[in-house]
Amino acid sequence: MGEMTISSPSTGKPGKAWLAAEARLGRRAAGGLVGIGLLGTLCAVGQAYCLAMLLAVLIGTDGPDEPVLWPALAFAALAVARAVIGVTSESLAFRLGATARRRLRTDALGRLLAAGPALLRSAHSAELAAIVVDRVESLDGFFSRWLPASMLALATPILLAAFIACFDPLAALLLIVSAALVPVAMAVFGIGAGRAASRQFTAMSRLQTRFLDRMRGIATIVMHGRVEDEAQSLLRAATELRQRTMRVIRVAFLSSAAIDVAAAGTLVFLALRIFHHMADNSLADPVSSLFVLLLVPEFFQPLRNFSAAYQDQFQAHDAAKALEALPPMPVVAEPDKPIRTVAAQGITLVFDRVGLTWDAARGPVLEDVSFGVAPGETLIVAGPSGAGKSSLIEILLGFVRPTEGRVTLNGADISDLVPSALSKLTAWIGQRPVLFAGSLRENIRFARPEATDAEVDDAARFARVEAFAASLPQGLDTDIGEGGFGLSGGQAQRVAIARAMLKNAPILLLDEPTAHLDSTTESEVLDSLRRLTLGRTTILVTHSAAAHEWNQGIGGRRIDLKDGRLIGNRGAA
């Protein structure tokens, strides 16, 4: 599995500033939720007081005739209020998380899309998708739980301690001291939790990537009888995930145990104090004693919520690092005007001493490559596989920038073009066209969504898609599976040709367009391509002898690449 090598643009501790900024935003948004939470606490105080009054009646210090009606009614009314407040605050919390997720997911996917296909060289698509789907999803807890809980964990105990202090200052002091110990315990137990959370996500992402990759190649695994091996390695990955997850939640359990100690200790202490007062008949005010006792769980509840959301915070730290490390959104420049206006008369394409290195260890894929293609001309690029032919096309498509030299279209450097402007100029038929699950028609229309049905039909006819679609039950509306399931390699290629036709761009880039075709279909497709190349600047990468002959027929030139260098530059034969 390739490691993610997306560089981080920031300085300092990665993700920290990002998360701090998000937290500021999130806290501002959580104001209403905190207000409602405090209102709920006030209701709980009222309820505790009613309950204490009712209980005091039972002890009988005030006589059995004490009225119970109004405390009982108030208790019931406050219960209903608390229920409504509970539902409201949960829905508010959801909205906080949802708003943040929506914003962050759009940002993350937008940045991936802007960075483009070069990303796939260093990361598996499942890893990238996990950032957009799972990383962002894991941030929900940060906004909907952790931020409000961290504010309420401070405000609510202070509010309650103030009430308690009115009746029993010693109890209030005791509660505040034990509450102050909670964050200390959490910090102690939380040492190393950040790294544990990060490892947990890595384990999860690895499990996903492995599974997705294995699913795409499931036929290969079954055919080689390797299902059991793969099941075992999936079990190993799942076991690793379990161990990592346990390490993360243990922190949450330990800090929650620390609160249990504080809560149970306080409760036991207060109850025993009441017991001793009762034993020597010195219990002056049973209502206030009971009231204080009943508020103890309420006092610790926000701290519990705080500790339960503790792991959300670790996950958020980790997610922040990943999201901040995504390639930044490029600044959108003005579309290059000269290119646009000249496009009508055709485009001159020039490679000027171009070099490209994907991976320093593997050496350059292209070195000192120079050539030019005039408007309407077709250039064949030949050479053994791995010579760098496809890399040349990828530069023209803007998937990657040359590491040396420059490529110009009508004199303008393509590095200065925004991706959308460059993509308007080029149509491309690749070696491995990605087809999406959906109908043939939808797959062709992908090239130009606003195309009419008639235009799609034309493109399909032109690329000989109709020839095989006719035998399918629903013709062009037949659904195909992900990755072109249901189509042969040659058929998939013809869909890609139809896309290029529909797109109708001034530069045509053909990367082995006839590799999977039989000779009859190949000559038909070459026929179609000949019409497509008319008036367009075309680069054709091919091994096919037929294509070479075809190009000579139309007077095209040919260059030969070997190990990334130009070894021949012949004119028309």
Partner 1 sequence: MKALFRLMALGRAQAGWLLFGLAMSLISTLIAVSLSGAAGAVFAGGILVAAPMALRALGPLRVVSRYAERMVTHNALFRALADLRVWFFRRIAARMAGGLGMARAGDLLARLVGDVEAQDAVYMRVMLPLVGALALLPILAVVLGNLDIWLALAVCVLFVVSAFVLPMMAMRGALAGGTTLAQAMAGVRVATLDAVTGLREVRAFAAEGRMLAATQARESTLLTAQSQALRRVSWAGAAAFLSAQAAILATLLLGRDHGATAIALVFLVMAAFEAVALLPRAGAQAGVAAAAAERVVAMTDSPIPCPDQPKPAPLPASYALRIEAVGFRWQEDRPPVFDGLSLDIPQGAHVALLGPSGIGKSTLAALCLRLESPQIGRITLGGVDIASLAAADLRHQIGWLSQATHLFDDTIRANLLIARPEASDAELWNALERAQIADAVRALPDGIETYLGEGGLRFSGGQGRRLALARILLSPAKILILDEPCAGLDADTERKFLTTLNQTLGDRSSILIAHHLAGVEKLDRIYRLSAGRAVAAAG
Site for partner 1 in 538-557 (CB under 8 A): 543, 545
Task: Return the residues of window 249-268 that contact partner 1 according to CB under 8 A.
Answer: 249-250, 253-254, 256-257, 260-261, 264-265, 267-268
Instruction: Return the bridge partners of 50, or none.
Output: none
Comparison of 408 and 491: residue with beta carbon closer to partner 1: 491
Q: How far is the CB of 458 from partner 1 (least distance, A)?
A: 18
Long-range contacts of 272-279 (CB under 8 A, 24+ apart): none
Task: Return the residues of window 337-366 that contact partner 1 according to CB under 8 A.
Answer: 358, 361-362
- 82 sits near partner 1 (criterion: CB under 8 A): yes
- 90 sits near partner 1 (criterion: CB under 8 A): yes
Task: Return the residues of window 127-166 that contact partner 1 according to CB under 8 A.
Answer: 128-129, 132-134
Decide: residue 238, CB within 10 A, 0-12 exposed, 13-18 middle, 19+ buried: middle
Task: Return the residues of window 268-327 that contact partner 1 according to CB under 8 A.
Answer: 268, 271-272, 274-275, 278-279, 293
- 167 sits near partner 1 (criterion: CB under 8 A): no
Tokens linked to 473? 């039950």
Tokens linked to 420? 């959308």
Q: H or E element: which one contains 343?
A: helix 337-343
- 76 sits near partner 1 (criterion: CB under 8 A): yes
Question: Cα(249)–Cα(246) distance, rounded to whole angstroms?
Answer: 5
Decide: residue 450, CB within 10 A, 0-12 exposed, 13-18 middle, 19+ buried: exposed
Q: How far is the CB of 166 from partner 1 (least distance, A)?
A: 22
Segment lying near partner 1 (by CB under 8 A), choices 22-30, 209-217, 320-328, 367-375: 209-217
**Pairing between β-strand 378-382 and β-strand 537-541 as defined by DSSP bridges:** parallel
Helix (H, G, I), strand (E, B) or coil at 120: helix
Would you give the distance in Å from CA 366 to the centre of its chain? 33
Segment lying near partner 1 (by CB under 8 A), choices 18-26, 30-38, 154-162, 235-243: 235-243
Q: How far is the CB of 439 from partner 1 (least distance, A)?
A: 12
Contact of 482 with 466, CB cutoff 8 Å: no
Among 48, 152, 197, 517, binds partner 1 (CB under 8 A): 517
Question: Cα(358)–Cα(365) distance, rounded to whole angstroms?
Answer: 7
Task: Return the residues of window 468-487 that contact partner 1 according to CB under 8 A.
Answer: 468, 471-473, 479, 481-483, 485-486
Comparison of 153 and 263: residue with beta carbon closer to partner 1: 263
Segment lying near partner 1 (by CB under 8 A), choices 18-26, 35-43, 86-94, 320-328: 86-94
Count residues binding partner 1 (CB under 8 A). 154
Tokens linked to 535? 């008036």
Among 30, 43, 96, 124, binds partner 1 (CB under 8 A): 124
Task: Return the residues of window 419-438 that contact partner 1 according to CB under 8 A.
Answer: 419-420, 423-424, 426-428, 430-434, 436-437
Task: Return the residues of window 184-203 that contact partner 1 according to CB under 8 A.
Answer: none
Q: H or E element: which one contains 371?
A: strand 366-373
Comparison of 409 and 517: residue with beta carbon closer to partner 1: 517
- 385 sits near partner 1 (criterion: CB under 8 A): yes
Q: How far is the CB of 547 from partner 1 (least distance, A)?
A: 12
Among 21, 83, 177, 184, binds partner 1 (CB under 8 A): 83
Tokens linked to 321? 């690092």
Among 17, 38, 109, 154, binds partner 1 (CB under 8 A): 109
Task: Return the residues of window 21-60 that contact partner 1 according to CB under 8 A.
Answer: 51, 54-55, 57-60
- 224 sits near partner 1 (criterion: CB under 8 A): yes
Buried b (16+ CB within 10 A) or exposed e, 56-90: bbeeeeeeeeeeeeebeeebeebeebbeebeeebe
Question: Cα(282)–Cα(201) distance, rounded to whole angstroms?
Answer: 58
Angle between the N-to-C axes of helices 31-59 and 16-29, in degrees from 0 to 180, rounded to the nearest 10: 60
Closest CA to 347 of 421, 262, 265, 236: 421
Decide: residue 301, CB within 10 A, 0-12 exposed, 13-18 middle, 19+ buried: buried
Q: How far is the CB of 399 from partner 1 (least distance, A)?
A: 6
454: Cα within 13 Å, side-chain hemisphere:
0
Q: How far is the CB of 71 from partner 1 (least distance, A)?
A: 9
- 390 sits near partner 1 (criterion: CB under 8 A): yes
**Pairing between β-strand 507-511 and β-strand 426-429 as defined by DSSP bridges:** parallel
